[in-house]
């Protein structure tokens, strides 16, 4: 069985972009992004069918959730 791995950021985008505005705060923005990101692994029976549906636009955001 194949796995699909995706990463999702759960932090506040406003804080992230405010940290990115100033050059010297970019390392803190990176740390903030790393700390508030999660890794999601999903098992799929037929990953090729999933990729075809994703590329053709058949998967909507509602269907993927």
Looking at residue 53, what is its pLDDT? Answer: 84
| Predicted local confidence at residue 61, as pLDDT | 59
Q: Which of 6, 11, 7, 5 is nearest to 35 (CA)?
A: 11
Whole-angstrom distance, CA of residue 63 vs CA of residue 26 = 35
Taking residues 33-42, report their average pLDDT: 93
Average pLDDT, integer, range 8-14: 95
User: Residue 60: which pLDDT band, with cuts at 50, 70 and 90?
Assistant: low
């Amino acid at each position: 069985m194949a796995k699909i791995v995706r990463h999702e950021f759960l932090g506040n985008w406003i804080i992230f972009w405010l940290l990115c505005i100033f050059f010297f705060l970019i390392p803190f923005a990176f740390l903030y992004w790393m700390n508030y990101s999660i890794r999601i692994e999903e098992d799929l029976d037929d990953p090729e069918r999933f990729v075809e549906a994703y590329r053709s636009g058949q998967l909507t955001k509602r269907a993927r959730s």
